[in-house]
Amino acid sequence: MKKINFYLLEYALDSLTRQKRRNIFLFSVLSFIIFLLSSVFFVRNSLLYQFDDAIGVMPDIVVQQLEGGRVVSVEEDLADELLAIAGVQDVVGRVWGYYHFFQANTDFAIVGVDEFEQNSNPNFVKDASKLQDDTMFIGNGVKKVLQKFYYEKEFHFLLPDATNMRLKIAGQLSKDSALWSDDVMLLTKESAKKVLAIDDNKVVDFALFVANKKEIPTIVAKIRTLFPTAKITTKENLFVEYDKLLSYRGGFFLLLFVVTLFTFFMIVYDKVSGVTSQEKSEVGILKAIGWRVNDILQYKFYEAFILSFFAYALGVIGAMFYVYSFDASIIFDIFVGSSQIKPQIALPFVFDAQTFFLIFFMSVPIYIAATIIPTWRVATLDVDELLR
């Protein structure tokens, strides 16, 4: 096996320090681009992971009634007809909607739950027994907004009939579910119906749970026969929609990065292909004193590898800190910015080797090639020509 030539490696390291300014510039730009690219990948991976996690407690089918393309409330009794469909394990009439808090010009998501639902997802609310008709739980984002307006212990809803309804704040929703609960006010169904002006015997939609997931398409077909105007959404549809959204936003970002990367490599290529007279002369001197083209390319390889690999490492490690320790502010807002209240969540660490390899192959080998190819073109010239 061929021995590693550590003298060449040392020479390459020296060479990097000899052209300090140029190399610091290239190192900084490359690290920054890798940092941005990695951050986008990490945020996307974490959100998909959270979604995967959350989808476990979501209903298998959601049935809504549309009128003029808008979701309208439906009679609660229809739950019995849905429950009668073979294969449906449970049906829950849901109450939810939005409350516009005009003082902050923002919307809170109102979710009404009954006792059964509180118990079905104990992670959502720590002490579910505290949820009464005169209390509510709020998400972290809601809490921050309310605190700005001195609503520390209670909140006054302005109802559609212009009267007030006062609810005590019993606690905060779990931070683990912040992606979903940050802008949520969790009320009892009765209170929620009052805030949202929904009649007592009505609900917004129905959540259906199915024991055998293979039966979902059959059940959907049966619901469609029973309620031809209903909008039916399955868990699978939801996942596809969410993935599309993330891919769209991620894709949009990736497109920007591809343009940025392309521009960067054009600059790098242009910089290196127009090998400076100093570099050209160095190649000439090295050849004149007995270096082969292979030796010169090996030295340039080490030089490019050291610079690009450390830029890669710095970019990726920086992105990990930025995403997992500092919650990727700005980039995260772009991904989940549809709500006016930005969720304050700790993104879970997801190790995806493919992502690391992808970023590596998009940066290090390209930079090395952009360095080696022009050097090779110069190194194959006659020494005479290089030194003249």
Partner 1 sequence: MIELKNITKEYVPNQKALDNVSLQIKEGELVVLKGASGSGKSTMLSLIAALGKPTTGEVVVDNKVISKLPDNFAALYRRENIGFIFQKFHLIENLSVYENIATPLIPSNLPPKEFSFLVQNAMDRFEIAHKKNVIVKQLSGGEQQRVAIARANVNNPKIILADEPTANLDAKLSANFIEILRELKKEKKTIVIATHDPLFFGLDFVDREVEVKNGVIV
For 343, list phi and psi in degrees, rounded to 5: -65, 135
% helix, strand, coil for the chain, step of 5: 55, 20, 25
Residue 66 binding partner 1, by CB under 8 A: no
Beta-bridged to residue 165, according to DSSP, are 157
Q: Considering only residues 292, 317, 337, 361, which one is a binding residue for partner 1 as defined by CB under 8 A?
A: 292
DSSP-derived 3-state class of residue 343: coil
Residue 282 binding partner 1, by CB under 8 A: yes
Residue 284 binding partner 1, by CB under 8 A: yes
**Which of 14, 152 has the CB closer to partner 1?**
14
- Write the interaction track for partner 1 spanning residues 16-35; mark x where CB under 8 A is met and - where it is not: --x-----------------
**Which of 3, 166 has the CB closer to partner 1?**
3
CA angle 374, 378, 379 (to 5 degrees): 110
Q: How far apart are CA 74 and CA 77, in angstroms?
A: 9
Count interface residues toward partner 1 (CB under 8 A). Answer: 27
Residue 297 binding partner 1, by CB under 8 A: no
Could you tell me which stretch among 6-14, 47-55, 220-228, 321-329 binds partner 1 (CB under 8 A)? 6-14
Least separation in angstroms between residue 30's CB and partner 1 is 23
Residue 289 binding partner 1, by CB under 8 A: yes
Residue 276 binding partner 1, by CB under 8 A: no
Could you tell me which stretch among 10-18, 59-67, 100-108, 116-124 binds partner 1 (CB under 8 A)? 10-18
Please name which of 159, 155, 137 lies closest in space to residue 147, comparing C-alpha atoms. 155
Residue 238 binding partner 1, by CB under 8 A: no
Contact between 286 and 295 under an 8 Å Cβ cutoff? The reply is: yes
299-334 b/e with 16+ CB inside 10 Å = b?
A: bbbbbbbbbbeebbebbbebbeebbbeebbeebbee
Cα distances (Å, whole numbers) of residue 192 to 79, 137, 308, 343: 19, 12, 56, 22
Q: Which residues bind partner 1 (CB under 8 A)?
A: 3, 5, 7-8, 11, 14, 18, 281-282, 284-295, 380, 382-385, 387
